[in-house]
Every structure is written in structure tokens, then in C-alpha cells.
Amino acid sequence: MVASARELWRALEPLHGMIYFAPEAHDRYTALGLDHTAGYFASRAAALGPVSAEVVIATFYNFNPALVRGAIPSAWEKTTPQALLAARADAADAALRRGLGELAERDGEIEELAGLARRAAEHACTTPHGRPLFAAHAAQPWPEQPLRVLWWAQTLLREYRGDGHLTALLTHDLSGIEALVVHSGSGEIPAESLRRTRGWATEEWDAAVDRLRERGVVDGDGVLTEAGRELRERVEALTDQLAEGPYSVLDHTDRDRYTHLTRPLTTTILTAGMIPHKKPPTKN
């Protein structure tokens, strides 16, 4: 069976996602004068330039605007977008080398996988329309070292899919906080974790639950109803559809090779605990 866009994205996502938890990133952002929250928002938004809080609120979608405004634009008074882009790239390289150990030194395999991921990412760059966060990243120069190329390619593919996901949420009339409630209602991530990390007050969260309950999406405990599960499936299906384009340049053999090369890297990253609450895939 040919790997789908979702499967290919999930296969490599931990190699990008670890940057949000890596001490190497926190240390570099701190050196630039940013705390944890400002470091997250400013480093991910840096490709957009020294933008306003409103731009970050719009493109990041599910964070409490007050949380964003506490970090942006004041972060730009302490450092520059280019300094943050460089710090983030250096942090990713250092964190991956720490987490992967000797796997990071398998130059032939890393270069091959980076080449496949870059092909998909470069194809994504031909259709940036309606994807502002992706387009901003796509405008940045490519690194040269294979491990950095691999991380950057997945960064582009992640933001491409993410922008498309926002389109899917808007299409199905889900606000940022409502999307979080739906996610927690699936049972995948505790509601308290999503509420706290996105900066929402309990009262705001409860109000979103009430709105979705009135729509028949969740029950009184915030758990997805049958209609809610169907809604989430439609959102994810549209997200997958909108994310398929970049991978269309990879044929069956390419996709098999992609997943084969990715598996030991992802397993190692997750086994090392570099992404909290995510476990490595079980062996069949």
C-alpha cells in the first residue's frame, strides 16, 4: 500500500517537533533575551519578519490572543528575526545530533532521506497560495548540511500542512479554542494540557465546550459524540487532501524508501523522550 500524505508527514514529524522542547533551543533563545513563551512565538514567526501580535494570532490560530500579545511584538525589541532563524537552525542541528547519536553520522542515509524530503518540500513551494506561514518559511534559503536540510524540509512540510489545516477548521466553522476542545474530546491529549499550553482560562474553555455541546459535537463531559467524531474525520480528511500535493512527486518506491529511512530516526527521537507524551511506534 502506498503511504499517504498523513503517513509520510507523521513519519518524519518528530524530527521537526522536538525543537519545541529541546533545551538547545531554550538556551539559545534565552541568550537572545527571550523567555520560553516569547522564544516559541518569535522563533516560529521569525520567517514572517518582525510582525505584529495580530499576524501571529491569525497564523498560529489556537492560542489565546493575550498570550501572544505578552510576547509579540516585544520580542523584536530584544532580538531580530534573522538572529532567531539562525539560533533555531543551530538548536535543531545540535538537538538532533544529541538525540540521534550515531544515526546522525550515517551520512548516506541522511542525505538520501533529506533529498526525498526536499523534493516534496520544493514541490510544495510551487503552490504557496493561501499559506502565509509556509510561504514565509519557503522564502528562506536552504541550508547545505544534509541533517539541516532534512530538518528544514520537514519544517516546510509541517507549515504547509498546518496552513491547510486552518483552512479545514475554518471550512467547518471551528475557532481556535473550539478546535482544541475537539482535539481533547478525541481522548488523544488531556484537555487541561491543551488549555494551559495555549493560554486559555478555564471559563473560556468551558464556554467553548458549551458552544460545541449545543452543536452536538461534544457531550456534557467534553467527549466527542458520534457527530463530533464525524466532524473531526471530515476536518482531517480535508487536511490530508490539502497536504497531498507536495508528496505527489514521490512515487511508490520513493515513499517506501522515505518511511524505511525515517523509522529508526523517529523511533530514536521518541524513545529518547524528546517529545513529551509521545511514545515510539510499537513493532508489529
Listing DSSP states for 168-213 in one string gives HHHHTT--HHHHHHHHHHTTSS-HHHHHHHTT--HHHHHHHHHHHH
The answer to whether the bond into 65 is cis (omega within 30° of 0) is no
The tally of CA atoms less than 13 A away on the side-chain side of residue 7 is 11
pLDDT the model gives residue 284: 46
What nine digits make up the cell of 149?
Answer: 536540510
pLDDT the model gives residue 282: 59
Q: What is the value of pTM for the model shown? A: 0.95
Helix (H, G, I), strand (E, B) or coil at 218: strand
Question: What does the buried/exposed string (b/e) look like for 36-72 if buried means 16 or more CB atoms within 10 Å of the residue's CB?
Answer: ebbbbbbbbbbbbebbebebbbbbbbbbbeebbbebb
Cβ neighbors of 141 (< 8 A, separation 6 or more) are none
pLDDT the model gives residue 281: 65
Cβ neighbors of 129 (< 8 A, separation 6 or more) are none
The tally of CA atoms less than 13 A away on the side-chain side of residue 147 is 21
What nine digits make up the cell of 199?
Answer: 493560554
pLDDT the model gives residue 199: 98
pLDDT the model gives residue 256: 95
Residue type, 207: A
| pLDDT, mean of each 10-residue run, the chain (284 residues) | 84 95 98 98 99 99 98 98 99 98 95 98 98 98 98 98 98 98 95 96 98 97 97 97 96 95 96 84 56
